[in-house]
Structure 1
Amino acid sequence: RAHDADEFIRQIEQELQLPVSVLSPQQEATCSYLGAISVIENFKNKRFTVIDVGGGSTEITLGQGQEIVKHASLPVGASRLAEAMDFKVKLGSSDRMGLMQIVKIELEKIAFWNEIDSSRVLVGSGGTITTLAAIHHGMERYDAQRVSQTVLDREQIWKLYYQINDLDLEERLKLPGLEAGREDVITYGTIIYLTIMELRQLPWIRVSARGVRFGYLMKKDW
């Protein structure tokens, strides 16, 4: 929580003449989960693993329909891994293997790690996976609906990783679908997804461009 959060909220309420409510960490996790799974048809009857790779952390949630069953936050994210490597642009195989080992160590601390398997629908949300989907489609203009209809298999994600990793930063910015500001961390975030999918032998992932805001609209009883 920012040190000036209360003052910021007061200013917003004064400017907009509207009350502001702040989500608790649990409410935020619930909204993020609901938003992510909302792209799946008949989601109320399915079991999910939802992964959101952020800059400083990775959130992993197991759910049954609209209910969160278990949740873990890992202290590894795209930016954090990049910082550990001094934002090295082109990663060698030893770099990649070292990073995957770092991620593996954190993953194996999760109490429900062995419950993550292919019997659950795997959903990815957040900037890393939506960017990979946009690059996969060669999007000149971002299309959230099309991104949310994307299924990427593990082999496709490996191909995207190698495609991006072979480029310098300027070349990456020319890739249709890659938003400026992600060019230096996209490979690191991709490594996190690949580590999870390889270790648990998960064949594919459904991409979701929906998150907290959409989930909040689904959860109107707060």
Structure 2
Amino acid sequence: MRVAAIDCGTNSVRLLIADIDGDVLRDVERRMEIVRLGQGVDRTGRLAPEALERTFTAMRGYAELIAKHGATAVRVVATSATRDAENRQEFVDGVRGIFGVEPEVVTGAEEAALSFTGATKGLALTTPYLVVDIGGGSTEFVVGSDRVESALSVDIGCVRLTERHLKDAGDPPSVAALEAVVADIERALDRVTDEVPVERAHTLVGLAGTVTTVAGIALGLETYDPERIHHAIVSAEKVHEVTRRLVSMTHGERSEIPVMHPGRVDVIGAGGLILDRIVRRFAFPQVVVSEHDILDGIAWSVH
């Protein structure tokens, strides 16, 4: 069966066209565009017209690919930025017009479950897992073995924290601004500690662009290589080292990092701090990096 999955997050919109046969998922096409749909949502509570147009432009290209490859089932999932927006109906109407299906603005719990499925299907490490999906507007924490046992979505993400604290904080950002980011992260992790049994987890699995970018830097890659990054193991010390480098660099210096996508240059510092504080707070010795995430979970869900 050939399926198409679209994940519309706060920072990026992604497409996976895949063939699913039993327990095997084979990529036909995997695409990602940085559209910054969540631009200003934390401040205004609304999706900006220019952000919507960037997103719809990327989606029109995806619709052409879906038609070209003949996918028979399509599911569009939208997450944090769209959940938070007063004018999300504009987004819903635009997506329906492009793909002919209703986009699903999923809850944090649904997002967590899809991420868990995508990340852990076929993973054979010591369970339970703590799956952490660091997005643009939110971060999901999921504990489970072969299914979700506990999950929580908290409103810390690389775009949200950058807009809140780092946008006008200097280049590189001031110590005070970085401390404000960390304070927000720690408050969110207090909730995680109270509501999710993280202490049960044996293996930390990290997902999404922040984690894969930090892994690419830690591995010293000269080009972004998903095959090298997928299931790479990055030590806690390396996470701390890379994060320290990122928050002390200028925008120009970060843009020259070989594995850095241009759309992540301004938000990677906040994203790195989220990963760094998770590793510190919960004392994991390492993070297992997954290139498979909510997008794969969406694909499995329409099978």
Normalising by structure 2, report the TM-score. Answer: 0.62
- Mapped to 2, the partners of 1:124 and 1:85 lie a distance apart of 24
SS of the counterpart of 1:70?
A: strand
Provide the residue aligned with 1:3 in structure 2.
89
RMSD of the alignment, in Å?
2.4
Listed as ranges, the gaps of 5+ residues in structure 1 are 14-19
Q: Could you tell me how far 1:126 is from its partner in structure 2?
A: 0.9
Match of 2:261 in 1: 179
Distance 2:94 2:253 in 1: 43
Q: Partners of 1:77 and 1:146 in 2: how far apart?
A: 25
Pair 38,139 (structure 1): closer, same or farther in 2 beyond 3 Å: farther
Which of 232, 240, 259 is the aligned partner of 1:158? 240
User: Aligned to 2:283, what secondary structure does the other structure show?
Assistant: coil
Picking from 121, 133, 143, the partner of 1:52 is 133
Unaligned runs of 5+ in 2: 1-81, 83-87
Structure 1 Cα separation of the partners of residues 156 and 205 of structure 2: 18
Say if 1:28 and 1:82 are closer, same or farther in 2 by CA, change over 3 A: closer
Equivalent of 1:70 in 150, 159, 164: 150
Aligned-partner Cα distance in 1 for 2:103–2:137:
21
What's the offset of the Cα at 1:95?
A: 4.0
In terms of fraction of residues, the more strand-rich structure is 2
Query: Residues 31 and 108 of structure 1: is their aligned pair in 2 closer, same or farther, counting only changes over 3 Å?
Result: same
From the superposition, tell whether residues 39 and 90 of structure 1 become closer, same or farther in structure 2 (CA, over 3 Å): farther
**Deviation string, structure 1 residues 200-221 (Cα, Å, up to 9, x no partner):** 2111111111122322333455
Structure 1 residue 39: deviation in Å?
Answer: 5.9
Is 1:167 matched with 2:253?
no
Secondary structure in structure 2 of the residue aligned to 1:213? helix
* Structure-2 residue corresponding to 1:83: 163
Distance, in Å, in 2 between the alignment partners of 1:147 and 1:6 is 36
Partners of 2:266 and 2:153 in 1: how far apart? 23
Read off the aligned partner of 2:99 and give its amino acid letter: I
Residues 193 and 8 of structure 1: is their aligned pair in 2 closer, same or farther, counting only changes over 3 Å?
closer
Contact preservation (8 Å) 1:33, 1:215:
yes
Tell whether the 8 Å contact from 2:240 to 2:276 is kept in structure 1 after alignment: yes
CA deviation after TM superposition for structure 1 residue 51, in Å: 0.7
